[in-house]
Amino acid sequence: MSYRVSAAPGDEIVFALDKSVNQAVEQSIPGASLAVIVNGQIRLLRGYGVTKVGGAKKIDSATIFPLASISKTFASAATAMLVDRGLLEWDTHVVPYLDKIQFSDPALGKSVTLRNVLSHTTGLVPQAYSDLLENDVSYRRILSILDRVKFVCDPGECYGYQNIVYNLSADMITLAAGMDYAQFVSEQIFIPLHMQHASFGLKAFLNSENRVEPHVRVKKGYASVKPAPYYYQVPAAAGVNASSQDLAQWMLAQFGQYPEVVSDENLALLHQPAIRANQYRYRAKLDNVYYGLGWRTFDYQGITGFVHHGGWVRGIRTEMLFHPATQTGMVFLTNCETDYAREIVLEFLSLYQRYIDPASSEREVATAD
């Protein structure tokens, strides 16, 4: 599936991003998939390159990628649904709701809430035990030693990005919903949003005929590797597989076009800055970088209100970036580890400033006069 609409507002940003990704694939990276939405309309869905270096199978907009940490955005939305139904509260305490979880400081641990988990403000050492997960230690085993992780601040007082701890949200959602986390998200988000290719887990990814192979850098370019299994153990943190088609629908939901799935009130809450997030690879180019509930937020060159999440697992990079007020954004998925994933985010922001931001247009008119 690939389509474009010609001679319409936003053509410049659509054509520029299309050209940029096409060049990146021709010159360096194995493949990618791109979605561009302008003014609430899907303007571009396209695949580029091949699913595997040396192979002939082309990537299209239905090709499935592991989403890595973009998966986190579904956990916060699922929580919002259960809060609306009165089955959870944002400030439900992790303990004793999860009766087998213990923290190193019981007094501080008692104040850790679901909101803290989803905003990375538990106060625990950042990336707690992600290294164990990558060394094939089971999630349940890691939870049994979570009480060895120290607090670096009181809950709610500092930002510390997590994967293991973030997945406590999935455990809480499972209890509240009375069904497995993946089943709840699939039934309540994927199906109503027509995310036809979205799934959870390594098995579902491997069973898909239209999927990418991850790639890592080698001396002569890129080499394919087996999909990394470990982060699939934490579905709320990094368990989702999807295509750019699917994430285009997810972006439309972020713009309020599916209020029966995610309400305007909940979107405002999810996108609201919660804690300043200094550990962010784009921070030198951005202002007011915060984490909300499952989403990052920031300003760029005086333009406020951008919402973003990216992801990395071995051999894969993913980016989703948008501006809710103008309903404009992009999804970029690539089957390799590349700095270009960062570059296209900054390219989108520059294009947005030039062609979409009303204040920029007013400044250009004033300069011409």
For residue 284, pLDDT over 90 is answered with no
Look at residue 162 and tell me if it is in a domain.
Answer: no
**Token pair in block for residue 83:** 């809060």
7 pLDDT band, cuts 50/70/90, is: low
Average pLDDT on 98-126 reads 98
pLDDT score at 165: 98
Distance of CA 242 to the CA centre of its chain: 11
pLDDT score for 357: 86
Confidence of residue 282 (pLDDT cuts 50, 70, 90): low
* ω into 106 cis (within 30 of 0): no
pLDDT band at 365; cut points 50, 70, 90:
very low
Please report, as a single letter, which amino acid is at residue 218.
Answer: V
CATH number at residue 328: 3.40.710.10
pLDDT band for position 363 (50/70/90)?
A: very low
Domain count, the chain: 1
Q: Is residue 297 part of a domain?
A: yes
In a domain, 108, yes or no: no
Give mean pLDDT, residues 201-211.
98
User: 279 CB contacts (<8 Å, ≥6 apart)?
Assistant: 126, 159, 161
Helix axes 340-355, 358-368, angle to 10 degrees: 60
Inside any domain, residue 47: yes
The rounded distance, in Å, linking the Cα atoms of 197 and 241 is 8
Burial (Cβ within 10 Å: 0-12, 13-18, ≥19) of residue 26: exposed
Q: Sheet containing 3-4: give its strands across.
A: 3-4, 41-49, 31-38, 328-334, 316-323, 303-313, 296-300, 287-291, 275-276
Range of the structural domain that residue 258 is part of: 3-65+209-217+241-368
Mean pLDDT of 2-16: 72
Is 344 in contact with 319 (CB distance < 8 Å)?
yes
Q: What is the mean pLDDT of the chain?
A: 94
Q: What is the pLDDT of residues 104-115, one digit of tens each?
A: 999 999 999 999
pLDDT mean over 336-343: 96
pLDDT per position as a tens digit, 141-181: 999 999 999 999 999 999 999 999 999 999 999 999 999 99
Q: What pLDDT does 277 receive?
A: 92
Give me the pLDDT at residue 303, please. 96
3-state helix, strand and coil shares in percent for the chain, rounded to the nearest 5: 40, 20, 40
Task: Give the percent of the chain with pLDDT over 90.
Answer: 91
The reply to whether 54 falls in a domain is yes
Residue 336: what pLDDT?
A: 98
Task: Report yes or no on 14 lying in a domain.
Answer: yes
User: What band does 301 get if pLDDT is binned at 50, 70 and 90?
Assistant: very high
Residue at 49 is within a domain: yes
pLDDT at 30: 98
Mean pLDDT of the region 243-260: 98
Q: Say whether pLDDT at 366 is over 90.
A: no
pLDDT above 70 for 29: yes
Q: 42-68: per-residue pLDDT in tens?
A: 999 999 999 999 999 999 999 999 999
State how far the Cα of 327 lies from the Cα of 310, in Å rounded to an integer.
19
Rounded CA-CA distance 164/166 in Å is 5
Asked if residue 17 belongs to a domain, the reply is yes
**pLDDT bucket at 278, cuts 50 / 70 / 90:** confident
Q: Confirm if 234 and 167 have CB atoms less than 8 A apart.
A: yes
Which pLDDT does position 280 carry in this prediction?
A: 62
Residue closest to 142 by CA, chosen among 164, 172, 173: 164
Q: Which two tokens stand for residue 293?
A: 């509930």
More confident residue, 91 or 369: 91
Is residue 367 predicted with pLDDT exceeding 80? no
Q: What distance in Å separates the CA atoms of residue 211 and residue 53, rounded to the nearest whole number?
A: 13
Counting every residue written for the chain, the total comes to 369
- Taking residues 203-227, report their average pLDDT: 96
What are the residues whose beta carbons fall under 8 Å from the beta carbon of 18, sequence distance 6 or more?
A: 4, 34, 36, 44, 46
